């Protein structure tokens, strides 16, 4: 099933493929001959890629660590709301799909922690900062998944918002982050389609199933819009991140792209988006829409959303109760490499 995207724009997956071609070309460029910041400025001006070997301003490095770590933590915490339904999926096929999807999110977390480590941080320090609350994760994962339809809506709206935000990150100026995003986006695109398909079935099911799908859309719409962050006027990092070409679009620009794309998809689902003021504005060439509640976003970011405490408690217990698994895996890896050495 082909989902309509932003009117008049190239498909999101075509944009990912184009970014991948640029990344391959950039990786073939010669290493810098100088170790001063002139090279950094020239690469950014030339729309090239900064690699871990290159000198970079300390603030650029810190911004990337903040954003990539927050992104990695979001993938890992994001496994919880959907994981909640693995044991209650309505069929074996849906259960297998959901298991695979949640496992993909763990993989995304791993690509992203690996990308952050190229900036000279250790992933165990990043976990520690998440657990102590010094680093954050996306606001969206602090909302509960109360019905099966929430799983479909997370796929459609949350993964849909994630793709709109992340496709431009495939063209981020930092090579390892951009490369991680290529694979993440291809997988997210698949996730979004499965969420859409699951909702499509519910929306055409019994009146009760249809009502459950609509109720889930009503609850997730505004939190999904808030995923893009505060409005541009309140965004502390956007201006600098855009100058460095880490971010390619502002929070409001991406939110608008998401609205324009999603309205068309909602028509196919035959579900309502819960915004009476959603109207096409021919002059702007975009839909006008009601903004999410940014005070609520700030409360959720600060730790006071409906599920913040539950999410962090689950994460802490996964670490404390799972330590023996990590230690066993490490001991096994040591044993294997000793065996290989003896055999060689």
Name residues contacting ligand BYC, limited to 79-108 (CB under 6 A).
Answer: 105
Judged by CB under 6 A, does residue 308 bind ligand BYC?
Answer: no
Judged by CB under 6 A, does residue 136 bind ligand BYC?
Answer: yes
Number of residues interacting with ligand BYC: please give it, by CB under 6 A: 28
Least distance (Å) from ligand BYC to the CB of residue 253?
11
The smaller minimum CB distance to ligand BYC, of residues 105 and 260, is found at 105
Q: Please pick, from the candidates 61, 66, 95, 248, the single residue that binds ligand BYC as defined by CB under 6 A.
A: 66
Record the tokens describing residue 144, joined without a space.
């509960």
The smaller minimum CB distance to ligand BYC, of residues 188 and 260, is found at 188
Judged by CB under 6 A, does residue 301 bind ligand BYC?
Answer: yes
The smaller minimum CB distance to ligand BYC, of residues 6 and 105, is found at 105
What DSSP string runs through 46-99?
A: TT--B-TTS---HHHHHHHHHHHHHHHHHHHHTHHHHHTTGGG-SSHHHHHHHH
Distance between CA atoms of 78 and 62, rounded to whole angstroms? 24
The smaller minimum CB distance to ligand BYC, of residues 66 and 210, is found at 66
Host H or E run for residue 286: strand 286-288
The pair phi, psi for residue 30, each rounded to 5°, is -65, 155
Query: Do the Cβ atoms of 84 and 148 come closer than 8 Å?
Result: no
The smaller minimum CB distance to ligand BYC, of residues 135 and 209, is found at 135
Query: Do the Cβ atoms of 66 and 190 come closer than 8 Å?
Result: no
Alpha helices in 227-307 (DSSP H): 238-243, 251-269, 294-299
Judged by CB under 6 A, does residue 315 bind ligand BYC?
Answer: no
Max intra-chain CA distance, the chain: 73
103: left (phi over 0), alpha (psi -120 to 50) or beta: alpha
Least distance (Å) from ligand BYC to the CB of residue 147?
18
Sign of CA dihedral 317, 321, 326, 329: negative
Least distance (Å) from ligand BYC to the CB of residue 219?
16
The smaller minimum CB distance to ligand BYC, of residues 49 and 73, is found at 73
Q: Please pick, from the candidates 61, 210, 237, 299, the single residue that binds ligand BYC as defined by CB under 6 A.
A: 237
Helices (H) and strands (E) in the chain, counts: 14, 2
Judged by CB under 6 A, does residue 251 bind ligand BYC?
Answer: yes
Residue 115 makes CB contacts below 8 A (sequence gap 6+) with 68, 174, 176, 177, 179, 180
Least distance (Å) from ligand BYC to the CB of residue 251?
5
Distance between CA atoms of 59 and 85, rounded to whole angstroms? 41
Judged by CB under 6 A, does residue 257 bind ligand BYC?
Answer: no
Judged by CB under 6 A, does residue 256 bind ligand BYC?
Answer: no
Residue 84 CB neighbour total at 10 angstroms = 16
Judged by CB under 6 A, does residue 236 bind ligand BYC?
Answer: yes
Name residues contacting ligand BYC, limited to 171-230 (CB under 6 A).
Answer: 226-230
Least distance (Å) from ligand BYC to the CB of residue 342?
42
Judged by CB under 6 A, does residue 158 bind ligand BYC?
Answer: yes
Q: Please pick, from the candidates 71, 94, 245, 311, the single residue that binds ligand BYC as defined by CB under 6 A.
A: 71
Least distance (Å) from ligand BYC to the CB of residue 229?
3
SS3 string of 92-155?
HHHHHHHHHHHHHHHHHHHHHHHHHHCCCCCHHHHHHHHHCCCCCCCHHHHCCCCCHHHHHHHH
The smaller minimum CB distance to ligand BYC, of residues 172 and 263, is found at 172
Residues of this chain that bind ligand BYC (CB under 6 A): 66-67, 70-71, 74-75, 78, 105, 136, 138-139, 158-159, 162, 165, 226-230, 235-238, 241, 247, 251, 301
């Amino acid at each position: 099933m082909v989902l309509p995207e932003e009117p008049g724009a190239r498909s999101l997956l075509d944009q990912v493929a184009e970014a991948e071609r640029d990344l391959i070309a950039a990786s073939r460029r010669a290493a810098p001959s100088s170790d001063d910041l002139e090279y950094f400025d020239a690469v950014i001006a030339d729309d090239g890629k900064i690699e871990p070997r290159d000198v970079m301003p300390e603030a650029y490095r810190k911004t990337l660590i903040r954003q990539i770590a927050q992104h990695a933590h979001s993938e890992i915490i994001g496994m919880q709301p959907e994981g909640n339904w693995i044991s209650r999926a309505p069929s074996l096929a849906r259960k297998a799909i959901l298991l695979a999807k949640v496992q993909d999110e763990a993989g995304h977390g791993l690509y992203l922690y690996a990308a952050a480590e190229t900036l000279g941080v250790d992933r165990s320090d990043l976990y520690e900062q998440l657990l102590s609350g010094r680093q954050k994760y996306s606001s969206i994962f602090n909302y509960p998944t109360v019905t099966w339809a929430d799983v479909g809506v997370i796929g459609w709206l949350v993964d849909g918002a994630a793709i709109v935000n992340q496709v431009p990150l495939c063209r981020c100026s930092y090579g390892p982050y951009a490369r991680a995003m290529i694979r993440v986006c291809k997988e997210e695109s698949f996730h979004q389609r499965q969420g859409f398909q699951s909702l499509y079935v519910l929306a055409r099911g019994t009146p009760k199933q249809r009502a459950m799908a609509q109720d889930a859309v009503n609850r997730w719409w505004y939190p999904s819009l808030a995923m893009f962050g505060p409005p541009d006027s309140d965004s502390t990092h956007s201006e600098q991140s855009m100058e460095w070409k880490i971010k390619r679009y502002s929070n409001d620009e991406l939110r608008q792209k998401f609205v324009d794309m999603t309205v068309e998809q909602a028509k196919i689902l035959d579900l309502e988006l819960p915004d009476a003021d959603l109207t096409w504005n021919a002059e702007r060439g975009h839909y006008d829409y009601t903004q999410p509640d940014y005070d609520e976003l700030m409360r959720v970011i600060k730790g006071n959303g409906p599920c913040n405490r539950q999410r962090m408690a689950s994460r802490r217990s996964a670490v404390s109760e799972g330590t023996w698994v990590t230690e066993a895996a490490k001991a096994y890896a040591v044993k294997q490499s000793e065996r290989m050495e003896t055999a060689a």
